[in-house]
Each structure stands twice: as C-alpha cells, then as structure tokens.
Amino acid sequence: MKCRIRFCVYYSIIDWHHPECPAIYSQARFHGQPKKDADIEKYADFMKGQVRELLTNYGPIGTVWFDGGGSFSNVDRAKLLHAREIVDMIHELQPGCVVNNRLGYGDYGTPEQFIPGEKGSNVFEVCMTINKSWGFKKSDEYWKSSDVLIQNLIDIVSKNGNYLLNVGPTAEGEIPGPSIERLTAVGAWMKVNGEAIHGAAPTLFGAELGQPKSESGGKQQAAVKAQNWRCTVKPGKVYIHFLKWPGPSFRLPAIATPITKVYFLADPARAEVPFKQATDSVTFTLPAQAPAPVIPVMCIETQQP
C-alpha cells in the first residue's frame, strides 16, 4: 500500500541563544548580561535564510508548522518577523506547502488543547495531547480514553477542522504503551467508519454543536447545549455520528435532497434503516440497541444533482 504521509517541518520562532532574538526571550549573554539591543531585522533575515534552506534542500515539504508566535504578542509580529514575506516565500518555493498561522499570517488556524464551539468558515487544526504533556513525562498518567479521542476527532471534523494529536516518545524513542493502546483503538474505529472522516466536509446543520443563538436586535441568548450527535458530509452522503445512542427514534432537521438509502457503516450487510422524509425534518426508526459499541455512524445516501 502506498504511503501518503508527507514530510513536514516544525520551526520554533524563538531561538533562545541567537544574539538578535528579542531580548526578553533571548538567553544569549554578552559580558554576563542578556543582550538588550537585539536587531529585529537581522533576526528576521536569519529566519528567512533557515526557512529557505528547509524549502530548497530537503525535497517536497507538506507543512511548515511555526511555533511560539504567541510569545511575541507584545510586539508587531508581522513587522518583527516579516510574516507575510516568509509565508509568500514558502508558497513561491513550494506551492503545495501549507503554513500555520503562528507567524500572525498563514493558511489555517491552530487552536491548542481546545476544540472551537462552532463550525468555522476557515479551516483549522486542533493541536492536542493524548495525556497532559507534549513530551514524554513518566508521572503523567492522565490519559484521554480512546472513546474521548474518537469523539474529539468527530467533533473537530464536523466543524471544518483537522485533529493534530501529539504523541511523546520516551528517551529511547519508543511510543508509550498507553498511547499505542489508544491509537490502536482509534484505528479500529477508523477501519469501519473512516469514510465519514477522511475528506469529509463539516456539518449540514450546526445547532447540534451548541452554538450561541442570536435574538432579533443583536442580543445573544445563552449557548444552546450541544447535542449527542455530529454530522459530516461527502457528495451524495450525510453521516450522523451518534456520541450517545438516542433510542428507537431519531429526528433530524430537513435535508433538501431526496434520500435514497440509510444504513450503518458498522453493518456489513448494509441493512436499510427505515425513515420518513418531510419538508421540515427527517425521522429515522433505529434499532433498540446501538449497532456498534463505540460511536456508530449512520450513512444517509441522497440523490446526486
């Protein structure tokens, strides 16, 4: 099977030992004292040279993932790091390379350790740890369960995002056992339900995400509680992910395109799920018990235009 993993690079915007790094973050010392007169222009040129080297000497690069940009929140980051110039240079050298937004300018957002509450109009990538630590920490036993990791994945994709899940290897380069167990469980779920994730678009609906609700006149009501399901979409297919089994009946808001068939991805026989499609809603008659132990996915096939 052909490997589709792309080589990407991580770049720390802060270089603690470079003499021209902003003084409040630099550990470079001159005559025993931190340097106070760092030349921002020289530091930006240094960055551009390194980035150019990465983009020209190591073959195709899928992503340049900058980190540490938030540390410069007290300065004009775009001016300090010539962010637009750097990102434009990356796109010129490798048009297929995407850049995150931590220079203050880029192709996609990077919320860290939290999932946005609403469907985004722009793409984003949630970066999150399996436990609480980015690197390996022997005392950190606060592992997220595999069910939580799967639910996070579904929630993120339904909101137009990507899930960047961190794994911290040990000093020997080994992946910790608890990480392997959880990733194996996620892989088993994806083997059955992956078509509802890979290449899927965000929800058709939105109210299930628990978005704030606006009244007339611009006043905002309290946030609507998130529902126990999520939706992802592909051409001719709507996928409903049941985070909690709803029981024998389930109702969706209206789907404009005529539905042709409904079934669960976990069912090898693709037995049809009864439904009734009306102008304002769709009602489904479900089994009494969930057809899969972990987040079953119902596929709704619709007529293609």
Q: What pLDDT score does 216 carry?
A: 45
Cα torsion angle, 118, 119, 122, 127, sign: positive
Mean pLDDT of 222-249: 90
76-77-81-87 Cα dihedral, nearest 10 degrees: -130
Mean pLDDT of 220-248: 87
Lowest mean pLDDT among 108-122, 258-272, 284-298: 108-122
Say which CATH number the domain at 253 has. 2.60.40.1180
Residues 133 and 179 in one domain: yes
Mean pLDDT of 279-301: 96
d(CA 243, CA 112): 23
d(CA 174, CA 251): 46
pLDDT band at 36 (very low <50, low <70, confident <90, very high): low
Question: Is 118 part of any domain?
Answer: no
Q: What pLDDT score does 173 carry?
A: 94
Mean pLDDT of 38-65: 92
pLDDT band at 220 (very low <50, low <70, confident <90, very high): very low
Q: How many domains does the chain have?
A: 3
Residue 52 has pLDDT above 70, yes or no: yes
d(CA 227, CA 236): 24
Question: Is 114 part of any domain?
Answer: no
Q: At what angle do helices 40-57 and 83-93 cross, to 10 degrees?
A: 10
Domain boundary among 146, 181, 196: 196
Q: What pLDDT score does 218 carry?
A: 46
- Best CA proximity match to 264, nearest among 233, 231, 300: 300
d(CA 146, CA 123): 25
Considering only residues 71 and 53, tell me which one the structure prediction assigns the higher pLDDT. 53
Q: What pLDDT score does 41 carry?
A: 83
Considering only residues 129 and 14, tell me which one the structure prediction assigns the higher pLDDT. 129
User: And the tokens for 224?
Assistant: 């609507």
Residue 127 has pLDDT above 90, yes or no: yes
Contact yes or no for 192/150 (Cβ under 8 A): no
Q: What pLDDT score does 84 carry?
A: 87
Q: What pLDDT score does 219 carry?
A: 45
Question: Is 115 part of any domain?
Answer: no
Residue labelled with tokens 């709507």: 238
Considering only residues 266 and 120, tell me which one the structure prediction assigns the higher pLDDT. 266
Domain boundary among 38, 66, 99: 99
Residue 150 has pLDDT above 50, yes or no: yes
Question: Is 117 part of any domain?
Answer: no
Residue labelled with tokens 């606060």: 142
Question: Is 237 part of any domain?
Answer: yes
Question: Is 286 part of any domain?
Answer: yes
Residue 213 has pLDDT above 70, yes or no: no
φ/ψ bin of 129: left (φ > 0), alpha (ψ from -120 to 50), beta (otherwise): beta
pLDDT band at 76 (very low <50, low <70, confident <90, very high): low
Question: Is 116 part of any domain?
Answer: no
- Side chain identity at 295, as an amino acid letter? I
Q: What pLDDT score does 292 carry?
A: 95
Q: What pLDDT score does 114 carry?
A: 93
**DSSP annotation of 112:** B
Segments in 58-201 forming alpha helices (H): 77-81, 83-93, 146-158, 177-193
Map residue 298 onto helix, strand or coil: strand
Distances (CA, A) of 74 to 24, 70, 77, 83, 197: 11, 9, 8, 16, 39
Task: Give the pairing of strands 229-234 and 9-12.
Answer: unpaired
- Best CA proximity match to 106, nearest among 130, 128, 89: 89
Contact yes or no for 252/208 (Cβ under 8 A): no
Mean pLDDT of 93-110: 92
- Structural domain including 61 reads 9-99
Mean pLDDT of 116-123: 87
Q: What pLDDT score does 72 carry?
A: 55
Report pLDDT digits (tens) over 151-193: 999 999 999 999 999 999 999 999 999 999 999 999 999 999 9
